[in-house]
Structure 1
Amino acid sequence: MALYSRVGSVFPYLHAVSVGKVYLSLMSEEKRHQVIQKIGLPAITKYTITDPETLEAELMQTKTCCFGFEDQELREGVRRIADPIFNFSGKHVGCIGMSASIFNFDLKDKKKYGEMVANAARKTSADMGYQSNNGPA
C-alpha cells in the first residue's frame, strides 16, 4: 500500500482526520459546535465517526492525551496520529503528525507513536519560542 498526499490538498471534514481532531479539540465548545454544524459529520469510510456524542468523547480524549488519532476514518487501511504545535504566545499554529498503513501501525503501538509525535511537536513548539508554562491561548 502506497501512502501519499498532494501538497496543498485540502480536506474540510475535520472530524475524519487526526489533525482536524486536534484543531477541533482546541476550539471553544461554541466554536466547535458552529464548525461541526457547518461541515457536518459525513461518513468518509465505514470507520468515520458520524455521531456527535462519540466525536465529542473522542475530542475530549484528544485534548486530555494531547494527540489526535484517526483509525481508517479518512482512508481505509491508514492510521494517523497528530499533535499540536504552539508559538511563543501559546497560540496553536499547526500540527505534526504521522501516517502509516494498518500493517505498519498496530494499535498496540498507539501510545508509543503518540509520544514520538508529541516529542517532535514539543521540540518544534519550543523552537518557535513556546514555553509550556505559557499554556495554550
Structure 2
Amino acid sequence: MTKNQKLVFGSLSGAGGPLTAYAILDLLRDSGFRAPLQVYRALDKLVEYGLVHRLESLNAFVACSHKGCSGHGTAAFAICEKCGLVSEFTPDKAIEALRAWTRDEGFHLSRTTIELRGTCRTCAGVS
C-alpha cells in the first residue's frame, strides 16, 4: 500500500461507521491531503484490493470486516436507518442463488454488493 492508501485505510478502520470521501479528506488534511482526488484514488485501490467497500446507498465507504473478502467478490451489509450502524455479513444462500442465476443467464458477474436497510436490534428494542 502507498502512504495515502495506508492513511485512508487507517481513517476508515478507526471510524465508528461509514465515511464519505469528503469526511476522510477532512480527517486527513493535517496529513497533507488537499484534494478529493487524493482520497478517491486511494479509495479506488483499496476497493480493488478488497480492503474497503463502497456503500452505494450512502455514497460512503467502510473498511472490510471479513478476511479474504476480495476472494469472493460479494459484500453484504445491514444498515440501520436510525443509528447508522453498518454490519457486514456473508449471506451464503443468497450469493449462491445469484451465482446460479448469472450462470444460467450467461451474465458475467464482476462483483456484488447487497445492502439491507432497516432497524438494528438495539434501535428496535429487541434483545
Task: Give the TM-score normalised by the residue count of structure 2.
Answer: 0.34
Larger radius of gyration: 2
Task: Give the TM-score normalised by the residue count of structure 1.
Answer: 0.32
